[in-house]
């Protein structure tokens, strides 16, 4: 893999699909063991989760249902950490085991907003799974139940993750070159 340019910034190859696939397979097996005899609902957070969700589901060997919701961080001159929900889960999750599926947990603002919104509903249980986790950036106390891979606090793109709309279709993950975190 070579360096690539997105919106004029340079990104270097960082995590291959094969490495991601290994972590995803282990996560799917762990979750399957924990939900034996149950039918969990995996709720993906659009848009970033598309690739992860698809590959995770192919590795999950038990019965399950899926759904999606959409969140967006407010964009402004300053990162206020405010998050708004664009789309709610379009199914009844009453008395169900729900697992939130995220592409990346960075500061945790998005996850906290999501968790608070879903836990208002009468679910049977609520857990969180994420493909990537930045422990040095995380500012919340909420426990993250399943993590495929922990990474340093540097901006990444690819495999569903975007830089201002671009890069989601890259099959592997790239890291910003240099010290900039964008
Ligand atoms: P937090 O946890 O800070 O993350 O609420 C908010 C959302 O921002 C996106 N995000 C990233 N997107 N590369 C990306 O392409 C990154 O390194 C990155 N860090 C955060 C992601 O959508 C997350 O849900
Ligand atoms: Mg996201």
In this prediction, residue 88 carries a pLDDT of 86
CB 19 within 8 A of CB 26: no
Q: What is the DSSP string of 157-170?
A: EBTTB-BTTB-TT-
Q: Which strand (E) or helix (H) includes residue 156?
A: strand 156-157
By most ligand atoms within 8 Å of CB, the mutation choice from 84, 161, 163, 173 for ligand 1 is 161
- The yes-or-no verdict on residue 66 having pLDDT over 50 is yes
Tell me if 105 CB under 6 Å of ligand 1: yes
Q: Which atom of ligand 1 is nearest to the CA of 162?
A: 15
In this prediction, residue 77 carries a pLDDT of 41
In this prediction, residue 166 carries a pLDDT of 96
Distance CA 163, CA 135 (A): 21
Can you tell me which residue has the tokens 């590959």?
A: 55
Tell me if 104 CB under 6 Å of ligand 1: yes
Instruction: Give the Cα-Cα-Cα angle 70, 30, 131 (nearest 5 degrees).
Output: 35
What three-state secondary structure class fits 16?
A: coil
ipTM attached to this prediction: 0.93
Q: For residue range 7-36, what is the model confidence (pLDDT) as tens digits?
A: 999 999 999 999 999 999 999 999 999 999
- The yes-or-no verdict on residue 70 having pLDDT over 90 is yes
CB 61 within 8 A of CB 32: yes
- Is 17-73+82-154 assigned to CATH 3.40.50.2020? yes
pTM: 0.94
In this prediction, residue 151 carries a pLDDT of 98
Among 109, 112, 116, 108, which Cα is nearest to 132's? 108
Q: For residue range 79-123, what is the model confidence (pLDDT) as tens digits?
A: 557 788 888 898 999 999 999 999 999 999 999 999 999 999 999
Q: For residue range 117-175, what is the model confidence (pLDDT) as tens digits?
A: 999 999 999 999 999 999 999 999 999 999 999 999 999 999 999 999 999 999 999 99
By most ligand atoms within 8 Å of CB, the mutation choice from 7, 84, 106, 111 for ligand 1 is 106
In this prediction, residue 78 carries a pLDDT of 41
């Amino acid at each position: 893999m070579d360096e690539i340019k997105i919106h004029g910034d340079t990104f270097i190859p960082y995590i291959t699909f094969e490495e991601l696939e290994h972590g995803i397979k282990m996560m799917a097996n762990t979750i399957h063991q924990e939900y034996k005899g149950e039918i969990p609902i995996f709720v993906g957070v659009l848009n970033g989760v598309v690739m992860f969700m698809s590959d995770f589901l192919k590795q999950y060997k038990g019965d399950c249902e899926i759904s999606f919701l959409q969140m967006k961080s407010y964009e402004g001159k300053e990162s206020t950490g405010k998050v708004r929900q664009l789309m709610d889960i379009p199914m009844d999750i009453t008395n169900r085991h729900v697992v939130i599926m995220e592409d990346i947990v960075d500061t945790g603002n998005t996850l906290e907003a999501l968790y608070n919104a879903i836990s208002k509903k009468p679910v049977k249980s609520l857990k969180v799974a994420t493909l990537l986790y930045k422990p040095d950036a995380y500012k919340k106390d909420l426990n993250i139940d399943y993590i495929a891979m922990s990474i340093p606090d540097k901006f990444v793109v690819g495999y569903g993750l975007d830089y201002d709309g671009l890069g989601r279709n890259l099959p592997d993950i790239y890291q910003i070159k240099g010290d900039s975190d964008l």
